[in-house]
Amino acid sequence: MKELSDQITLICSTYFRAITSQELLYRLPNLYNLQNYMKFLDKVLGFWCKRSILETSNFEERIAVAERFIQIAIRAYEKKNFAGVFAIIFGGIIDLEKSLPHTWDRLSKQSRTFVTLVDDMLGEDSHFKLYFEKLRRSPLPVVPFIANNQTRIAQMKEKHNVIVLPTGETLINFRKFQQIG
């Protein structure tokens, strides 16, 4: 599990570092790096997790597969790979509670606690405050959850306009760029 989680973190980190600041700030969907990163998280990692769990017909094996994926997510969380954690948990694990309640009930208490922690971290009722606080406190390097950051960056950009002086000269709003960076 450790090696697999490390490989996932390495891949996520490589994809994330390839994304340019223009792709992040302006959400340009036609640029290659951002598309690859999002495709890897959603179509590869999340789909692989969901498919592996759902295609396992034996009940005990399904529980073991779900536990393994949660252990991979825990290791990715320790490595500060938030994108990988959210892709695994929201890709296939979080649906177990509703779609396969017997499987969910048989997961270990540690696994269910971790899934609940991740769900609360990106919970709509907290407006992602727990996630941003965890992201802020984590030492670098970090692989953040991009989709959430893009929305926040766009909101900051809209709220803090560039200051234009009467002479036509523009001033850079450094507070905005400090928050975005």
Q: Which domains does the chain have, with CATH numbers?
A: 2-145 (1.10.840.10)
Task: Report yes or no on whether pTM surpasses 0.85.
Answer: no
Range list of β-strands (E), the chain: 163-164, 170-171
What would the DSSP string read from start to end of 1-35?
A: -HHHHHHHHHHHHHHHHHS-HHHHHH--TT-HHHH
**What pLDDT score was predicted for residue 143?**
85
Please state, in angstroms and rounded to a whole number, the distance separating the CA atoms of residues 165 and 63. Answer: 63
**What pLDDT score was predicted for residue 49?**
92
Of all helices (H) and strands (E), which one includes residue 94? Answer: none
Q: What is the mean pLDDT of each run of 10 residues along the chain (181 residues)?
A: 89 85 65 78 88 92 95 94 90 83 92 91 74 82 69 48 55 49 44
The token pair at 70 is 């949660």
Backbone angles phi and psi of 81, in degrees to 5: -100, 80
